[in-house]
Amino acid sequence: MNLKGRNFLTLLDYSKEEIEYLLELSAKLKEKKKKGEPTLVHSGKNIALIFEKTSTRTRCSFEVAANDLGMGSTYLDPKASQIGKKESIADTARVLGRMYDAIEYRGYGQEIVEALADNAGVPVLNGLTNEFHPTQLLADMLTIKEKFGRIEGIKFVYMGDARYNMGNSIMIACAKMGMHFTACTSKKYFPNEMLVRECERLAKESGGSITLTEDVAAGVAGANVVYTDVWVSMGEPDEIWEERINDLTPYRVTMDVMNMAGENAVFMHCLPAFHDLNTETGRVIKEKFGLDEMEVTDEVFESGRSVVFDEAENRMHTIKAVMYALI
Ligand code: CP
Ligand code: NVA
């Protein structure tokens, strides 16, 4: 499998076999890391890391992975660079492409990461846009493989805002890999129809399926994975909290939901999560709306069914695999 020089913008661009290859490579690199074996395959190379939105996991994964592969990395935040304000994305791409062997971008519209890819001449890797979060899905699928020994046939239920980066990316991953995807949320938050149609077509080929439902009991019955994400994503206005709380509280992941899902179901979340009052935002929401927890209860988050920190660790191993294979 040769993926050298490819961009990593959305999983729509990758075949089932290519995704399987990246997951196998991730598992191998994880094993090597645990054994302390070096993987310095990209010595002397460099990656630029553009973050127009904040990050803990993705940034640290890229930096640690770069170091483990023998690469240098440069972190660029919007305040400390010319990007967007004084220099266009196309010009930035042409400059960075002369100095770096790859560029990671986290920020707003998918068209920005596409413009970078069109102009950089080196691989561009999507570290999250409004529309997609493809490296997160590699980590999630590696975690599922570790927990269930397989990906194909897994029933994957997503609760919350299914129109945004996580809902879209999970639906695509399920459609490509033969998993059964359910968006279990209010109609208003179903993914966009065109993407649903495209995923239904892909699911037919892979043996997966796409279901959209507002019914929690029917939606989660028989689930292997119950997944949720924050109700308000980065870049969305604070004014939207009230509406989201009203619309999405019925789709909070509680222990009742996990019990409806079945004994073997695991809880997943890309993180960060609002499950207690130990965050600034969590405390503001408590003051304004009286909620102690949001998309997931603390009971579920802290339970033995929660695999969220395995997912978080796997961000690094899977991002390393992408860099290993594409650069
Ligand atoms: N899951 C994820 O992308 O986390 P960060 O926002 O911390 O990078
Ligand atoms: N939907 C979230 C994902 C964070 C990893 C956001 O975009 O903020």
pLDDT one-digit tens code per residue, 222-232: 999 999 999 99
CA of 170 to the centre of ligand 2 (A): 13
**Which of the following is catalytic: 42, 57, 133, 252?**
133
Pairing of strands 209-213, 180-184: parallel
Ligand 1, residues 58, 126, 281: which to mutate, most atoms within 8 A of Cβ? 58
Q: Which amino acid residue places its CA nearest to atom 2 of ligand 2?
A: 233
Q: Is there a cis peptide before residue 191, judged by omega within 30 degrees of 0?
A: no
List the alpha helices (DSSP H) in 100-235.
110-120, 134-148, 165-177, 193-206, 216-220
Query: Quick one: average pLDDT of 81-110?
Result: 94
How high is the pLDDT of residue 85?
Answer: 82
CB-based contact 115:5 (threshold 8 Å): no
Say if ligand 2 is within 6 A of residue 166 CB.
yes
How many CB atoms within 10 Å of residue 284?
A: 12
Cα separation, 203 vs 176, in Å, equals 6
Is residue 270 lining ligand 1, measured as CB closer than 6 Å? Answer: yes
pLDDT at 80 over 90: no
- Let me know if 57 is a catalytic residue: no
pLDDT in tens, 144-197: 999 999 999 999 999 999 999 999 999 999 999 999 999 999 999 999 999 999
The pLDDT of residue 83 is 85
| Amino acid 84: pLDDT | 80
